[in-house]
């Protein structure tokens, strides 16, 4: 092959390595980018065989290795951004036109014109939810964000969590209960609830001490008594019995459906020097308009509404590979599976795994300092091979003159 050709192969290999390094450096700030490393092999004459000693014929680039080490997450503050904290995972994407499946570590999500969740122009594959839950047999697919408004839900269960009635309270002076007469009860609480049309109403509970450790509770809605109950406490202040308040039937006058309110006072106590009856929890809610979507650290995609409610729409699927280095780079921070990478292994939906950092994107895994060192090494190799080529030319000129 000759010294000159060997030197030329060395310069060509050095140039190819500098191209790889230059591409890494150029994408040092590209979110989700994975660096590559050039591999080289020596060239031997095809006629070399047996124990014959043969001078090498130079070098060639034999391929590229891809590094899928995780880049550090960079906070963006955008709730639609996700950085995969599981180092071996990929977002699985499907092109809606061609059906091609690809994989990426870049996690800036958005919705297309049909409200499908996407990264770039490709749809994110996710496990769909039905009725706010993901079934055991769900299969990942395109996830469409439901932007419809949320209907109202009538309240059915009310829990008065913070009831404490003072044992030092006296029996009211007026024995006939009258909500307008503060001397006929000891204290009261107001609980806001919702009917089937989304209108709100107040359930007022008036607490009346009848004797030591015994209380009567008058429940009123819109000034009308809807239930009368009783509470009994032990000598240590613990509730020993509660009756008459379990199912309160309410018929709205607005045309909303009749509803039954299950009132739970199981946490009531009788301790301390003062009454405390403010805290409560109630299901049901007013109608709400769609406000956007959020994604949590488990990849759960939820629609948010103006009534402070949310609905689970699905969970983003994560794919992994036995040999990620065998993935085919498609550009745009995406890869496709090959026989070398193996088929994708898609993780099942989970309720506990924190696979993502929300409001962040994974940065490039390029180490600029290391790339600059490698670039200088490649440059030195090129210059050395160029020197060999120059010496070869001088030798050949001398030989020609003989």
Clarify whether residues 348 and 377 are in a common domain: no
Residue 152 lies in a domain: no
The pLDDT, as a whole number, for residue 402 is: 67
The predicted pLDDT at position 322 comes to: 93
- Tell whether 165 and 247 lie within a shared domain: yes
pLDDT given for residue 262 in this prediction: 94
- Domain range enclosing 351: 74-147+289-362
Question: Which of 247, 266, 282 lies at the terminal end of a domain, its last residue?
Answer: 282
Number of domains observed in the structure of the chain: 3
Using CA atoms, how far apart are residues 133 and 122, in angstroms rounded to an integer? 25
**Look-up: residue for tokens 């018929």?**
251
Closest alpha carbon to 66 in 328, 320, 322: 328
Contact 220, 248 (CB under 8 A): no
**What CATH number has the domain bearing residue 213?**
2.60.98.20
pLDDT score of 284: 92
pLDDT given at position 48: 55
Q: What number of other Cβ atoms are within 10 A of residue 176's Cβ? A: 7
Beta bridge partners of 262: 157
Last residue of a domain, one of 254, 282, 310: 282
Phi, psi of 5 (to 5 degrees): -65, -35
Indicate the pTM of the whole model: 0.79
d(CA 389, CA 369): 31
Is residue 26 assigned to a domain? Answer: yes
Looking at the structure, do residues 78 and 61 belong to the same domain, yes or no? no
Kind and range of the H or E run holding 104: strand 101-104
At residue 53, the pLDDT reads 62
Spans of the chain below 70 pLDDT: 1, 46-54, 352, 402
Indicate whether 346 and 256 sit together in one domain. no
pLDDT score at 386: 85
């Amino acid at each position: 092959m000759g010294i000159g050709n060997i030197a030329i192969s060395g310069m060509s290999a050095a140039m190819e390595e500098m191209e790889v390094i230059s591409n890494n450096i150029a994408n040092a700030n590209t979110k989700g980018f994975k660096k590559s490393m050039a591999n080289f092999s020596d060239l031997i004459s095809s006629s070399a065989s047996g124990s014959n000693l043969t001078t090498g014929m130079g070098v060639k680039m034999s391929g590229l290795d891809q590094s899928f080490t995780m880049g550090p997450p960079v906070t963006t503050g955008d709730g639609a951004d996700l950085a995969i904290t599981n180092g071996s995972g990929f977002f699985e994407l499907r092109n809606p036109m061609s059906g091609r499946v690809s994989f990426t570590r870049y996690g800036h999500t958005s919705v297309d014109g049909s409200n499908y969740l996407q990264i770039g122009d490709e749809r994110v594959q996710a496990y769909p939810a039905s009725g706010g839950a993901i079934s055991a047999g769900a299969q990942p697919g395109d996830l469409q964000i439901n932007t419809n408004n949320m209907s109202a839900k009538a309240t059915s269960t009310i829990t008065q969590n913070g009831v404490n009635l003072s044992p030092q309270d006296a029996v009211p002076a007026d024995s006939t209960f009258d909500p307008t007469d503060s001397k006929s009860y000891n204290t009261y609480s107001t609980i806001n609830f919702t009917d089937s049309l989304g209108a709100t109403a107040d359930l007022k509970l008036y607490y009346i001490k009848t004797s030591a450790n015994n209380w009567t509770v008058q429940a009123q809605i819109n000034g009308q008594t809807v239930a009368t109950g009783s509470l009994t406490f032990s000598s240590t202040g613990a509730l020993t019995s509660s009756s008459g308040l379990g199912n309160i039937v309410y018929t709205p006058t607005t045309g909303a459906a009749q509803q039954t309110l299950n009132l739970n006072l199981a946490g009531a106590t009788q301790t301390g020097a003062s009454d405390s009856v403010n805290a409560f929890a109630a299901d049901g809610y007013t109608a709400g308009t769609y406000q956007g979507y959020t994604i949590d650290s488990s990849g759960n995609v939820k629609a948010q509404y103006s009534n402070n409610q949310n609905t689970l729409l699905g969970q983003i699927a994560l794919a992994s590979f036995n040999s990620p280095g065998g993935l085919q780079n498609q550009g745009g921070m995406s890869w496709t599976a090959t026989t070398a990478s193996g088929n994708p292994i898609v993780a099942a939906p989970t309720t506990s795994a924190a696979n993502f950092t929300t409001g962040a994107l994974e940065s490039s895994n390029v180490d600029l300092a290391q790339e600059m060192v490698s670039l200088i090494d490649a440059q030195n190799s090129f210059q050395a091979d160029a020197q060999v080529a120059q010496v070869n030319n001088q030798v050949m000129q001398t030989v020609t003159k003989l």
